[in-house]
Structures are given as C-alpha cells and as structure tokens.
C-alpha cells in the first residue's frame, strides 16, 4: 500500500490532479480535493502528500491528501453506499474535515446538499449512514464535540452562513471561509449588521495573515 508520496511537482491542474516526480524517477498522478491541491507549491516545488490507492477490476487510481485527517475523512465518506472516491474528493473540495464533521453533527442537510454534484438524495444518504460516525470524524478533524451553532458557545447558524457567503463573494473558497471563521465570535455587545461586520473583519485578518503580503 502506498501511504504517502514525496517529490517534485511536475504539473498541477485546476481539477486537482497533481503529478509528483519521486526521487526514484517515477511520476505519480495523484487526484486531490481541488482546495487542497491549490495549497501545494507550483510546478517545480517540493511536496509530500498522504495517499490512498483505490483498486478496481480494470484500473488503479491514487488519491492524495494534505493530512492524515483529510484521508480519514475520505475513507469515512467512501464507506457510504454509492459514494465513490471521486465523489468523496468533490465533497472534500468544498468541505474540509472539520466542516464536514460539523455539518454531520448539526445535521445541516442544506450545507451538504449545496456541494456541487451531491444533490439532496445523496446528502440525505450521507447524513443517514454517517450519523453514528459524526463523533469519530469530529475527533479525526480535531474539533470539539461541543455546542452546535445556535446554542451557547457556538455561532448562530444564520450569522455564520452570512459571513461565509460574504467571504466567498470576495473570492475565497468555501473551505477558506470556514477555516477563517472557525472559533470566532462577535463581541457580546454587537448585534445584527454590527455583529456580522465584526465577524467578517476578524476572518479577513486571519485570511490575510495566512496568505501573507502580496509579491
């Protein structure tokens, strides 16, 4: 079993297929969540990715992930009936492991159904079959299994959704928006539009620090 690959990136497509040239001179085509592939260096840079080899009767395909947690989420998704590896990668392109775990914990069907290529019926099946695995996924993603949004200690779901939507309208991906908003809360005295603006400003500061100064 191929556990991970380390080498020089020869090519990286927008669809998430990355070609990695290993020191032994073998180039591996690795299919990754598009949001994860985007975080790798450009062609010529060095990368190390966790992998999962999927064998079929007439083919073998290698899937890659930025972390073991992302690979674990992939394994959990592919345990769902009629959810193949490519569909699992599509889900992880839109929701990182923590975002997926939170959607399952909160039974947030609209959030999962909104993923391109999923649809309502598939989202319902994922929710049903992974209901008992939400805790395991949350532990894998290293997020607390505490209050859900809308309860003490969490963001009101409407406010979080509005902030995430605003960040995506600014050009950030869904995964980037969710990571930036994780753990944030507006000041206790802030209400309505003031709370939303405060939340967006805090998230933008995080995003700016992660991306660094423009060249």
Per-domain boundaries in the chain: 4-65, 68-140, 157-209
Could you check whether 4-65 and 68-140 share the same CATH topology?
A: no
Contact (Cβ atoms closer than 8 angstroms) between residue 20 and residue 28: yes
CATH of domain 157-209: 1.10.8
CATH of domain 68-140: 1.10.150.20
Total count of residues recorded for the chain:
215
Per-position DSSP letters for 149-163, written without gaps between them: TTSTTS--HHHHHHH
Helix 97-105 with 68-77: angle, nearest 10 deg: 40
**CA–CA separation, 126 and 108 (whole Å):** 11
What pLDDT score was predicted for residue 157?
Answer: 47
Per-residue pLDDT tens digits for 7-47: 999 999 888 999 999 988 899 999 999 989 989 999 999 99
pTM, two decimals, is 0.66
The structure tokens listed for 69 are: 């947690």
CATH of domain 4-65: 2.40.50.140
Per-residue pLDDT tens digits for 99-115: 888 888 888 888 888 88
Burial class (CB in 10 A: 0-12, 13-18, 19+), 155: buried
The structure tokens listed for 16 are: 């998430």
Sign of CA dihedral 146, 147, 152, 157: positive
């Amino acid at each position: 079993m191929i556990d991970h690959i380390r080498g020089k990136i020869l090519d990286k497509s927008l669809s998430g297929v990355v070609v990695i040239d290993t020191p032994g001179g073998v180039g591996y085509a690795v299919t990754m969540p598009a949001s994860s592939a985007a975080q790798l260096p450009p062609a010529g840079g060095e990368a190390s990715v966790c992998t999962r080899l999927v064998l079929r009767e007439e083919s073998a395909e290698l899937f890659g992930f930025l972390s073991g947690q992302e690979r674990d989420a992939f394994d959990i998704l592919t345990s769902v009936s009629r959810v193949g590896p490519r569909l699992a990668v599509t889900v992880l392109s839109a929701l990182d492991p923590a975002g997926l775990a939170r959607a399952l914990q909160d039974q947030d069907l609209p959030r999962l159904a909104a993923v391109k290529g999923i649809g309502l019926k598939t989202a319902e099946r994922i929710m049903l079959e992974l209901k008992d695995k939400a805790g395991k996924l949350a532990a894998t993603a290293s997020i607390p299994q505490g209050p859900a949004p809308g309860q003490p200690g969490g963001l009101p779901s409407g406010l979080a959704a509005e902030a995430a939507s605003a960040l995506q309208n600014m050009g950030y991906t869904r995964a980037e928006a969710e990571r930036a908003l994780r753990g944030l809360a507006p000041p206790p005295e802030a209400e309505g539009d003031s709370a939303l603006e405060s939340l967006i400003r805090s998230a933008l500061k995080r995003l700016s620090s992660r991306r660094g100064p423009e060249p």
